[in-house]
């Protein structure tokens, strides 16, 4: 039987051994990305992120894993369980620490249970639950796993669902005008007018991949990122050395959209590129009319059309994305609760939440900006 281990550093595993567990299509699962967060000051215990990657070994060979963290709070997760923690506290129980299988700060769907077969994935999850119970942690959670991992979870892993707004190319769009042509007149006109107004203001764009980004480009993007977090009163986690690490180790996966005015950067959007998907993560910049939508959404869509990418996922939340062609899609997470009474109570709670999310998705779908025959259902 394979030997379970919680790793406190991903650098304890050779990059080739870790990356052999996934197909390389999702950049957030790569050893370079996850180890880079640890090595360049992006994960701090006081922010609630302590690496505890769950792994199975046969001798010296890594055979299965879930990227994971021991959490002392729910900061940076995007699956909200504050009500659960409050309920635990009301009953004199400790909800923290909990174990979380996820990519820090990244509400991005992708492989989480890294093993060869559905049976192996199920065995990995069973061993994880046993280890969490043995160590006295309250629970184990796996956030933003893909639908094709559903069969690996036993019924005691509770299912939660939520909505994200994503752009999917149905296959026939080759240009931005093709995309706009699928929209109804009102939304098509609004986007065209907005883009034209921004262009008249003199804003232009440079799009650079990691191997094309200068030190000045990286500093500019990081400055915009810091600006956004300062405006919202939040603590920024990503460091400039981490961005430089991505540019060096993932040179074609890092994509930065820089808005220029009179030749100087005035806004930027930081994205990662997978095999068929662009992932929007952070933005910051000036408050020019239309600048946010163009930098974060329209430039990304145009990039996907040029590069032949099928999807653009611009991050969590944001009903305003709907009018830009980002339709509601369901995302999922799983939750194993050690305390039997709480686990039983949460079955009904999660079922009610899923019903509310499904209703919300139907309401949103009725407001699609696309002509009826072009709508892309969730």
Per-residue model confidence as pLDDT tens digits over 199-247: 999 999 999 999 999 999 999 999 999 999 999 888 899 999 999 999 9
3-state secondary structure of 233: coil
Q: Locate 306 and state its tokens.
A: 């040029």
pTM of the model: 0.95
In this predicted model, which residue has the larger pLDDT, 46 or 250?
250
Could you give all domains of the chain from N- to C-terminal order, each with its CATH number?
3-154 (3.40.630), 166-326 (3.40.630.30)
pLDDT at 376 over 80: no
Residue count of the chain: 378
Name 257's Cβ contacts closer than 8 Å, sequence gap at least 6: 205, 206, 207, 268, 269, 271, 295, 299, 300, 303
CA nearest neighbour of 36 among 66, 15, 55, 22: 15
Average confidence score pLDDT of the chain: 95
Name 200's Cβ contacts closer than 8 Å, sequence gap at least 6: none
Range 355-373 average pLDDT:
93
* Residue 144 DSSP label: S
Identify the pLDDT of residue 233. 86
Range 140-161 average pLDDT:
97
pLDDT tens per residue across span 241-262:
999 999 999 999 999 999 999 9
pLDDT tens per residue across span 295-308:
999 999 999 999 99
Q: How confident is the model at residue 1 (pLDDT cuts 50, 70, 90)?
A: confident
pLDDT at 374 over 50: no
Identify the pLDDT of residue 150. 96
Edge to edge, the sheet with strand 61-66 lists 3-7, 53-58, 61-66
Residue with tokens 């305390």: 339
Range 27-54 average pLDDT:
95
pLDDT at 45 over 90: no
Report how far residue 327's alpha carbon sits from residue 222's, in angstroms, rounded to the nearest whole number: 29
Q: How confident is the model at residue 377 (pLDDT cuts 50, 70, 90)?
A: very low
Q: Locate 171 and state its tokens.
A: 């296959």
pLDDT at 375 over 50: no
Strands (E), 169-263: 204-209, 254-261
């Amino acid at each position: 039987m394979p030997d379970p281990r919680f790793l406190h550093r991903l650098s304890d595993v050779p990059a080739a051994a870790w990356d052999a567990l996934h197909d390389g299509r999702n950049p957030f699962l790569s050893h370079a990305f996850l180890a880079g967060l640890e090595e360049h000051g992006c994960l701090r215990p006081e922010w609630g992120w302590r690496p505890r990657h769950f792994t199975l070994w046969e001798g010296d060979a890594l055979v299965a894993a879930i990227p994971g963290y021991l959490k002392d709070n729910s900061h940076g997760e995007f699956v909200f369980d504050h009500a659960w923690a409050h309920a635990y506290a009301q009953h004199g129980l400790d909800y923290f620490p909990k174990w979380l299988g996820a990519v820090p700060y990244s509400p991005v769907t992708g492989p989480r249970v890294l093993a060869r077969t559905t049976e192996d994935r199920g065995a990995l999850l069973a061993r994880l639950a046993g280890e969490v119970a043995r160590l006295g942690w309250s629970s184990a959670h796996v956030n933003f796993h893909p639908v094709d991992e559903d069969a690996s979870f036993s019924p005691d892993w509770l299912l939660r669902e939520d909505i994200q707004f994503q752009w999917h190319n149905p296959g026939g769009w080759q240009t931005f005008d093709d995309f706009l042509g699928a929209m109804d007149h009102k939304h098509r006109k609004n986007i065209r007018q907005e883009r034209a107004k921004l262009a008249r203001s003199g804003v232009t764009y440079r799009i650079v991949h990691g191997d094309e980004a200068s030190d000045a480009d990286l500093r500019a993007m990081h400055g915009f990122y810091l600006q956004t977090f300062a405006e919202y009163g939040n603590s920024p986690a990503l460091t400039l050395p981490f961005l430089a690490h991505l540019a060096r180790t993932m040179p074609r996966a890092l994509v930065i959209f820089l808005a220029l005015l009179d030749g100087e950067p005035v806004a930027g959007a930081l994205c990662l590129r997978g095999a068929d998907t662009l992932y929007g993560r952070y933005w910051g910049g000036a408050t020019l009319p239309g600048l946010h939508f163009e930098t974060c959404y329209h430039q990304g869509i145009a990039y996907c059309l040029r590069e032949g990418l099928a999807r653009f996922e611009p991050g969590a939340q944001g009903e305003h994305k709907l009018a830009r062609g980002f339709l509601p899609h369901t995302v999922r997470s799983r939750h194993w609760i050690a305390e039997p009474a709480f686990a039983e109570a949460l079955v009904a709670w999660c079922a009610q939440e899923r019903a509310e999310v499904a209703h919300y998705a139907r309401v949103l779908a009725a407001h699609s900006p696309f002509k009826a025959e072009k709508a892309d259902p969730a």
